[in-house]
Every structure is written in structure tokens, then in C-alpha cells.
Chains A and B, each alone.
Chain A
Amino acid sequence: MTEKKCITINRLFFSYCDSGDVVSDISLEVNKEQKVAVVGPNGSGKTTLFFLMCGLLKPQRGRITVDGKAIKHNSFNKEVSYLFQSPDDQLFSATIWDDIAFGPLNMGMDRNTVASEVDAALKTTEISYLKSKSPHHLSGGEKRLAALATLIAMQPEVYLLDEPTSNLDARNRRNIISLIQRLPATMMISSHDLEFLLEVCDRCILIDNGKIAADGSIREILSDESLLQQHHLEKPHSLIPHEHNV
């Protein structure tokens, strides 16, 4: 049985005006509801790839399609949503409820549908108690969950999550993990938290210097110590065999 393709990227190139190619000849396909880890050292092009995939940047060459529909530059592509590294960039409305409603309202949903979508997103992220609060009154973990709820309410086909667990304590990190595991959607997740990626993803793409250096099963790639060292990464602790002293 062949799995249905969701994201198709074909020979993608991008460079900022003052540098060489930040994304260089990237081609990949992601199946529906697949959760893909995107790893690589700082400045390897992960965030730039996400910006291209959601239409914030225009590729110099290449094509990105989601469910067969081409991603348009600098316009609203409702199939793709992007979680920013800092939730402060994403939350700007008066209350969390308004912030979550922002996307659905712009999508032209009627007020009743908006209300039910917002309530469902609040329930999924388990932050209903925050709905009347202002974003600046929330903790880091709460802000992150609220930012994720703003995406969930729009029901996108693809979630691009940029460092979703950075600066989170163990409890909030666990909340994000269980939320991502529960969401039946296509996801590409960029993170330096390799243990987290091992828990939520089945496939891994290693990017370095704007190119795909490896693509395959997450366990295989993150177990390959020499490959990881070559690209300035470290093998996750849980994949290192331990001797137990009794």
C-alpha cells in the first residue's frame, strides 16, 4: 500500500543577499500524518527551510507543494502553520482567547464556528483556564502551549514547529510531547532536543550547510555516532548503552 504524499519539495534553493546558498538543492517528500525531525547545527538552514515552506521567504529556485497546492510567497497559505521559536513573536492579542480566534476569524469562519474551534483548541492544549488572560501574564510554558493552540484552531494540514521545547521545564516539555503525539497531523519539527525528537518522530532529516546530509529512520540516524559528530551533533543519552552497577 502506498502512503499519501502531503509535502513535496523539489530542488529548492535559497540564499540571502549577503551570503551563499542557505538552502541548497533540497528535495524531499513527507507522507500524510508523518512526524519528521529536522536536525542540524546552528545556522544549518533549518529555520530558513521552514520559512520557505510557509511562504515567508521566496525560493530562488524550486517548488514546494502541500497536498498538490503550491505554496505562495508572502500570502496566507492555510495548509501550513508555523510555530515561531519565541512565543512572544506569535502572541499579540488582548487575551489568549482572542489570539486563538485571530486565525479562524481571518479565515472567514462564522462567529459560532470560531468559538467552537477556539474552545476545542483550548481543550486540546489543556489551557482553558488561560482563555481570559493577557499573553504578558503567562509563564514561558503557558505561552508555548497558547502559541500552539493558535495553530491548532486553524486546523492546518502541516505544522512546522521550530524549537517547541526550548526553555521549557520538564513538566511543560512533557505536555508538549503528549500534545504532539496526540495531534493527527503532518509535522516537521526542528529542535536541538534530540531526546524529545526520538519520542515524537519516526523519521529524521539531518541538514548541514543548507543540504540534506541524511534522511531516514530517526533511531538509525541518531544512533550513528560518526555521522552526528561529523555534523556537530551528539548522540542522545538514551541511545548510549549503560552499564548498571547493582
Chain B
Amino acid sequence: MKSDFFIGVKSPVHAWDARWKCPAFLALVCIAAFVQSPPGLAAAAGCALILMVASRVPAAFYLKTLKYPVFMLVVMTPLLILSAGGASLMDIGPLSIYTSGLEWSGTIGVRSLSIVAMFSVLVMTTRYDMLVKSMEYFHVPNKLIFIFLSTYRFIFLFFELLHNSFRAARLRGYHAARSFFHFTTVLDILISLLVHGFEQTERTNQAMILRGYQNNLIVPGGGSTSASDLAKSGAAFSVAIAVILIEIL
């Protein structure tokens, strides 16, 4: 969990108030998810690129994050190109490369990479407590805020325990992918972590009851909005509206 290593970086994206940043990012992500025309796709990719550069987070970190959609694209693209149907661009023996397959691959590739990149920028540049506060500001239901809060809190504990469990198993001769026996070891570790997680959730719930929690989460504090926050969000919404117009026209 290295996402919060970059929370302290000074950049215009980091300085953007979460209450304005979250809706602006969501608008851009929605646009990236639905664009189809080449100018729209170029705008989505351009926005993602600008945000990544402006965030001043090392490119290597974004590349690591983007490898997951790239893996998916590597598997999916040849299948699409060879099976999309319609007009054939080129024949290679019994196989045909279809124009529509290339177009679909390009569209899906740009969309998925842009969305993952924008989400990465949002997570990497926004303190989690500020995300919680912005959720409260927009009246997101308490239960959803609590689920988000618990997930974020326990994901660190879960990975720490997972890491320690595998380390302990390795010290007792465990070797990944060596035999079926080791596959069952992985399952055993995961099941014990799930049980542990359930017990921990129960204890945390008890700790909350002892401090007066009654299914109503009160989030303290809040940030202040500056003119630059409004300008950044205004620019993001303008881009989103412009892309919608391009798509319609």
C-alpha cells in the first residue's frame, strides 16, 4: 500500500480541495467511460496525462498502476481484432484482421487507461480523511462512509497480516506454486485471515459502541475552498461539457 507515500507532495492537484476535486474527477471519469469519437478519446487521454503530470507523482508509480489494465488489453486486443467481424483490413492465412476490431481495441484501451490513471491521481493526491469529509459534505449515506472508512483502515492491516503469514509460511518451507499442497496452504492462510478479519471487525464494533456509536457517523472538521479550487473544478467541468458537445455534434 504505497498510495499514501505521495500524499505529502506539493502540487496543484494535491492542493485542490477534496470537496471540489472529487466531483470534478468523477465528471472526467464518466466522460472517459462513454466517449467514442477520436477527438473525445484524445480529450480523455489528454486530461489523464495532464493530471498525472500536474500531480508531480513519479511516472514509475503510475506505470506500475497502469500495468493491470495493460495486461487485460494484451489478452483482449488480439481476440477483438480477429473476431470483431465486418470489413476485413488484412488476411493472414485463415485469420482476418478487422477494422472494427482495431477501432474497438483502441477505444477500450484509451478508456480503461484514462479511467485507471485518473482514479490513481485522485487516490494518490487526496488524503483519505479528506475523502471521507467530502463524502459527508455531499450527504453520502453514513453506512457507505463507514464501509469506505473500515475498508481503508483494514486493508492495511489485512496486507500486513497477509505478508506476515506468507513470511511465516516461507520460514517453514512454503514455496509458491510448487505443488497442490502449497495451493491449499494459500487457501488456509486466506481463510484464517478472513476469520481474523471478522473477529477484528467485531472487536472494532465493540470499541465503537463503547464510545457511543449508534449507527450515526459524525465526521469532524472540514476544509476551506479557495478561488483556485473553483477555477480547477470549473476547468474540469468545462472540458467535460466540451467533450459531451463534441460527442453529440
Contact = CB atoms under 8 A, between A and B. Distances in A.
A90 interface: yes
Contacts of B153: 91-93, 135-136
A84 B203 contact: yes
Interface string A65-87: 00000000011111011101010
A107 B129 contact: no
Given A134-B4, A136-B157, A92 B129 contact: no
Interface of B: 4, 127-129, 132, 149-150, 152-153, 156-157, 200, 203-204, 206-214, 218-221
Contacts of A105: 218, 220
14 contacts: A54-B210, A56-B206, A74-B209, A75-B209, A86-B203, A90-B207, A93-B149, A94-B128, A97-B221, A106-B212, A106-B213, A114-B220, A137-B4, A154-B211
The 3 closest A-B pairs by CB, nearest first: A94-B129, A106-B212, A103-B211
A98 B219 contact: yes
A85 to B, nearest CB: 9
Contacts of B211: 76, 81, 102-103, 106, 150, 154
A193 B211 CA distance: 27
B220 A106 contact: no
Nearest to B219: A98
Contacts of A135: 153
B202 to A, nearest CB: 9
Given A76-B214, A111-B220, A84 B207 contact: yes
A95 B149 contact: no
Interface of A: 54-56, 74-78, 80-82, 84, 86, 88-95, 97-98, 101-103, 105-107, 111, 114, 134-137, 150, 154
A53 to B, nearest CB: 11
A88 B213 contact: no
Given A89-B200, A90-B207, A78 B212 contact: yes
Nearest to A101: B220
A54 B209 CA distance: 10
A90 B212 CA distance: 13
Contact of B210 (A81, A95, A111): A81
Contacts of A80: 210
Contacts of A106: 211-214, 218
B22 to A, nearest CB: 15
Contacts of A97: 220-221
Given A76-B214, A137-B4, 7 more contacts: A81-B210, A86-B203, A90-B207, A94-B128, A94-B129, A97-B220, A136-B157
Given A94-B132, A98-B220, A105-B218, A82 B210 contact: yes
B157 A88 contact: yes
A200 to B, nearest CB: 22
Contacts of A98: 129, 219-221
B157 A102 contact: no
Contacts of A136: 153, 156-157
A142 to B, nearest CB: 15
A48 to B, nearest CB: 13
A94 B126 CA distance: 12
B220 A92 contact: no
B208 A92 contact: yes
B70 to A, nearest CB: 29
Nearest to A89: B203
B212 A134 contact: no
A97 B212 CA distance: 17
A77 B206 CA distance: 12
Contact of B204 (A81, A92, A114, A150): A92
Contacts of A137: 4
Given A88-B200, A94-B132, A111-B220, A102 B209 contact: no
